[in-house]
Amino acid sequence: MLIDRSSLSRTVDAINGAMFHTRSLGASERTEAARWIAGRHGLPGAYADTFAGFPNERDKGIVLFTGERINSASARHILGEEACRVLRLLRVQDKAVTAALGGATDGLLRCLDRAAQDPRHTNPGVYCCGKCTVGLWRHLLAGGLDRQEERLQRGVAGLRSLRDGDGQWRKYPFWYTVLALSELDGREALGELRYAAPVLKRAVGPPRGASTPYAARRRELAGRALAKL
């Protein structure tokens, strides 16, 4: 069951999970999920006219596909980016879905345009903070927004200056960042995965203690990322 009628984030997570494990989704299943997500477009609490989570998600935040908890405005923004992403990947031809996705895209592009007017903002592939930037990258990877290649290349190139010396990055959630990098083949992305390799190698070992869905995803993701090197 893809739709959790009390949670947009869990619905998006279920779709992401199906796609991560390459589970085939039937046409009716994809259409129902896409229409349900589209119905959250522009509701109170939606970031930049994207897709609104439910009150408990706005109050308590959301959990990303890779297990990190995100709160406040970052949660609203990332949920909007991730909802746009899955709608693009579901590829449902439906007027209501197309209109909702178009409106959400316009809202996010307005945000990017405003950010670009700030003289401190010199990298078009970065948005406000590390968490939100990765959400932006994932949307770009699905073909959303504009200037995809430029934004991704320049955004990922900026990671090098944020390395913490221990295989991770300052300000960027490690596993969510690896999830985005694992879908890229550019020199910058592969360089960052090589840098993160010691952490990834530890993660593919036997689980410590009781396993969780997020721990299992991280092990699988670590293996996929290492296989690219």
Mean residue pLDDT of the chain comes to 96
- Compute the average pLDDT of residues 150-163: 97
pTM of the model: 0.96
| Distance between CA atoms of residues 68 and 176, nearest Å | 8
Q: By three-state DSSP, how is residue 63 classified? A: strand
Core vs surface per residue 27-57: b (16+ CB within 10 A) or e = eebbbebbbbbbebbeeebbbbbbbbbbeeb
Q: Which domains does the chain have, with CATH numbers?
A: 8-227 (1.50.10.20)
Take residue 39 and report the two structure tokens written for it: 């119905």
Backbone φ/ψ region at 61: left (φ over 0), alpha (ψ -120 to 50), beta: left
Tell me: pLDDT of 156 over 80.
yes
| Distance between CA atoms of residues 145 and 136, nearest Å | 9
Alpha helices (runs of H) in the chain, residue ranges in sequence order: 8-20, 27-38, 55-60, 72-90, 95-116, 130-141, 148-157, 174-181, 187-203, 213-227
Closest CA to 66 of 178, 194, 192, 172: 178
How much is the pLDDT for 200?
A: 97
Q: How many CB atoms lie within 10 A of CB 156?
A: 24
How much is the pLDDT for 212?
A: 85
